[in-house]
Amino acid sequence: MRHYTVSPEDKGMRLDQYLAKDKPEYTRSFLQKIIKGGSVFINDKKVTKAALRVNEGDELVVIVPSIRETGIHAEDIPLDIVYEDKDIVVVNKPAGMPVHPTDHGAHVSGTLVNALLYHCKNSLSGIGGEMRPGIVHRLDKQTSGLLISAKNDHAHRMVSGQIMARHITKRYITLLKGHLTPKTGSIEAPILKTLGEKKVQISNHEKAKYALTHYQVIKYLGNYSLVEVRIVTGRTHQIRVHFASIGHPVAGDDHYGDPLDNETLKQKTGLSRQFLHAAYLKFKLPSNGQEIELEAPMPKDLKMTLKKLEK
């Protein structure tokens, strides 16, 4: 349960905007959901409209649902744990595993959240919302690699704070169509996420978000480039849409890639998903501020793809 008092400078703000400003670790959609569900009270009266304007001096009470109230069940799914302490657990997520159930009911089982609930005995941060307990950041379903989850709200705030401040180093390994030149460079292009669509796009719209990607070509393999990528920002599909925008889509990407090339590559190497792996993380532990570096080896399917291309 959280308590708030509206200050003079926040007078007139929408309720969901006010809560998002005061608690940026909560997603806007999560806040709108709990408002609609009757978990927010203003001056002891339940409110269900996110667009309601708050007034100076209003007393707000927000009841955050606990993990046990969500209806998401713990499942005994094996996890490749790279690091764990009392605050966080870092896993090497396999390709094909969704990170969390979706709001429309898809992936109600078999997700990383289901596995974490079993492994952590329901001891996960509630900040991510009822569908994403413990989830601080995400990877696409078909992207493999390192992902941090928080066991408590303090750890969640500490890690998400590092992400927001861009103090966490994230490096990926990807295979791109064509020979990327120059071999070292950056892509700086704002990304717009369109409501209701599964794709994002490069856009100069006022709602587009700043995005920056650095890259280094490791080597060329046939008509492909094996590339190390460091993302400064962490926008939805950032790596995939950035490289597609300059004519070098991620190999195997069925959203932004070349369908004909993807099918040809699949026939030659067996690659059946996007070639994208979150290989490296550097961040500070919530418990003591110590900096830690973690790596996840490239999975077998991606290694086999490279081996066959080298031949």
Same domain, 259 and 201: yes
Residue 269, helix vs strand vs coil: helix
pLDDT value of position 257: 95
Q: For residue 59, give the H/E element and its range.
A: strand 59-62
Q: What is the CATH number of the domain that holds 271?
A: 3.30.2350.10
Task: Mention every residue, 6+ apart, whose C-beta is less than 8 A from residue 31.
Answer: 16, 19, 20, 23, 50
Given 140, 253, 254, 301, which residue is catalytic?
140
Residue span of the structural domain in which 291 resides: 169-310
Structure tokens of 35?
């408002």
140 is catalytic: yes
Cis upstream peptide for 94 (omega within 30°) = no
Per the listing, tokens 């329901």 go with 122
The last residue of a domain, from among 64, 87, 107? 64
The last residue of a domain, from among 64, 84, 111? 64
The last residue of a domain, from among 149, 164, 179? 164
Same domain, 152 and 20: no
The span from the CA of 92 to the CA of 6, in Å, is: 42
Task: Mention every residue, 6+ apart, whose C-beta is less than 8 A from residue 124.
Answer: 67, 116, 117, 133, 134, 149, 150, 151, 152
* Low-confidence stretches of the chain (pLDDT beneath 70): 1, 22-27, 64-71, 102-108, 122, 128-131, 195-198
The span from the CA of 79 to the CA of 116, in Å, is: 8
pLDDT value of position 21: 78
Domain count, the chain: 3
The span from the CA of 297 to the CA of 295, in Å, is: 7
Same domain, 176 and 289: yes
Taking alpha carbons only, the member of 161, 139, 124 closest to residue 286 is 161
pLDDT tens profile 62-82: 876 554 445 678 899 999 999
Task: Mention every residue, 6+ apart, whose C-beta is less than 8 A from residue 122.
Answer: 67, 68, 74
Same domain, 202 and 138: no
Taking alpha carbons only, the member of 223, 190, 224, 184 closest to residue 207 is 190
Taking alpha carbons only, the member of 63, 99, 61, 59 closest to residue 79 is 99
Per the listing, tokens 């080896």 go with 297
Identify any residues that bridge with 192 across adjacent strands, giving them in sequence order.
Answer: 201
